[in-house]
DNA sequence: ATAGTTGCTACTAAATTCGTAGCAACTATA
DNA sequence: TATAGTTGCTACGAATTTAGTAGCAACTAT
């Protein structure tokens, strides 16, 4: 499977529209969590794995490659870290935390 | 598999932290695109399917159920539509469009 | 040397998704 | 009241993805 990237057809969409590439990338299991985990500081491969509930190393490796090709992460001496672009994505996604809190409230009102 | 929901352990995370439940839900293939497709107007099952590049009806059905239990979508006479909560999520995610545009620019600069 | 850590590959099993077929209920249209 | 078309959805086998575990080469500290 090819790496989701703007201006290219992506998994599940032939449009190549940028936002769809984003959905494609973020809609793949673990990618959001990986980026989220790297938010505050660089992490080693194994630390990243631990942060993601012990996800398979093979899958993690694949994700890292994709995220790196998408220019959202990079490998440095400190381990893996967000690029400026990746960091800006996390900033963009930051309001999600607040939303999640609202969602939590709405859902704990007789959701069970 | 259980429905990701705040205050409950979710797929790939035992923490039960709300944001993780969000990542869990949105990090599942199609969910973002489904919500995105419903952004502007309610859609019928089949229209939704077309909007998502002809995704399998069985998977779509499963997604609808999850999103509905998560109170993000609802079924009405007009078809499927976003709840107020779902709409607020889309609003929260709206800045992503701008980010995607930036990403596109950054990536078309020698990404190939 | 020896043991521990780190980054990663390999491989099998389990879970998820795809793709297609098809059916019951409803809606025209004739 | 036949007939055809649409809609929502289920079934099921095939393909793809993810999980889980083992393990190895390189590096570090002892």
Q: Are B23 and A101 in contact (CB under 8 A)?
A: no
Positions of chain D reached by protein Cβ under 7 A: 6-12, 16-23
**Helix, strand or coil, per DSSP, at residue B81:** strand
Interface of A with B in 67-96 (CB under 8 A): 69-71, 85, 88-89, 92-93, 95-96
Checking if the pLDDT of A37 tops 90, the result is: yes
pTM score, whole prediction = 0.88
Percentage, residues of chain A above pLDDT 90: 77
Which residue has 């190939």 as its token pair?
B112
Of A33, A62, A58, the closest CA to residue A48 belongs to A33
CA-to-CA distance for B64 and A81, rounded, in angstroms? 35
Reported as a single tens digit per residue, the pLDDT across B28-75 is 999 999 999 999 999 999 999 999 999 999 999 999 999 999 999 999
* Closest residue to C19 measured CA to C1′: B56
Confidence (pLDDT) at A108: 78
Q: Are B19 and A96 in contact (CB under 8 A)?
A: yes
A47 Cβ within 7 A of any nucleic strand C atom: yes
Which residue has 């545009």 as its token pair?
B101
Question: Which of A62-71, A102-111, B49-58, B67-76 has the lowest average pLDDT?
Answer: A102-111
CA of A29 to C1' of D23 (A): 26
Q: Are B80 and B64 in contact (CB under 8 A)?
A: yes
Beta-carbon-side half-sphere exposure of residue B5 (alpha carbons within 13 Å): 19
Q: Are B7 and B15 in contact (CB under 8 A)?
A: no
């Amino acid at each position: 499977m090819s790496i989701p990237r703007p201006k290219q057809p992506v998994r599940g969409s032939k449009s190549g529209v940028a936002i769809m590439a984003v959905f494609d990338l973020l809609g793949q299991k673990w990618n959001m969590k990986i980026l989220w985990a790297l938010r505050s500081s660089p992490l080693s491969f194994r630390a990243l794995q631990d942060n993601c509930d012990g996800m398979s190393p093979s899958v993690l490796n694949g994700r890292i490659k994709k995220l790196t090709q998408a220019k959202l992460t990079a490998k440095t001496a400190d381990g893996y870290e967000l690029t400026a672009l990746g960091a800006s994505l996390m900033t963009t996604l930051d309001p999600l935390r607040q939303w999640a809190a609202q969602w939590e409230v709405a859902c704990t009102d007789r959701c069970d």
